[in-house]
């Protein structure tokens, strides 16, 4: 009986750990952190999780965008996309 309880507990814990691997959060400056002095594009700061996105125009916070991602991707894909945009 103890073995069954222990195995059940281990399965529950391991399934929770596996589920959490898909959760992530990262942030970036969409137009770059160090822009050319002649670049007049907005300073856009973004935070993305595995489910939600937030974008802030640092000069006009009333333009903040927040919402549920319509096409969530894995953290590997999110990192690759962010590197390609850099």
| DSSP secondary structure code for residue 47 in this structure | E
Instruction: Show me where the domains of the chain are located.
Output: 23-85
User: Which tokens go with 76?
Assistant: 């590997």
Render pLDDT for 12-31 as a digit per residue (tens, 0 to 9).
555 555 555 577 888 888 88
d(CA 61, CA 43): 11
pTM over 0.85: no
Render pLDDT for 36-75 as a digit per residue (tens, 0 to 9).
888 888 889 888 888 888 998 988 889 889 998 888 777 7
d(CA 1, CA 38): 72
């Amino acid at each position: 009986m103890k073995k069954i309880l222990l195995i059940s507990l281990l399965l529950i814990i391991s399934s929770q750990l596996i589920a959490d691997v898909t959760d992530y959060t990262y942030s970036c400056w969409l137009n770059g952190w160090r822009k050319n002095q002649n670049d007049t594009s907005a300073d856009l700061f973004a935070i993305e999780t595995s489910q939600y996105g937030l974008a802030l125009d640092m000069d006009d916070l009333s333009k903040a965008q927040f919402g549920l991602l319509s096409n969530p991707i894995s953290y590997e894909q999110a990192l690759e996309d962010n590197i390609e945009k850099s």
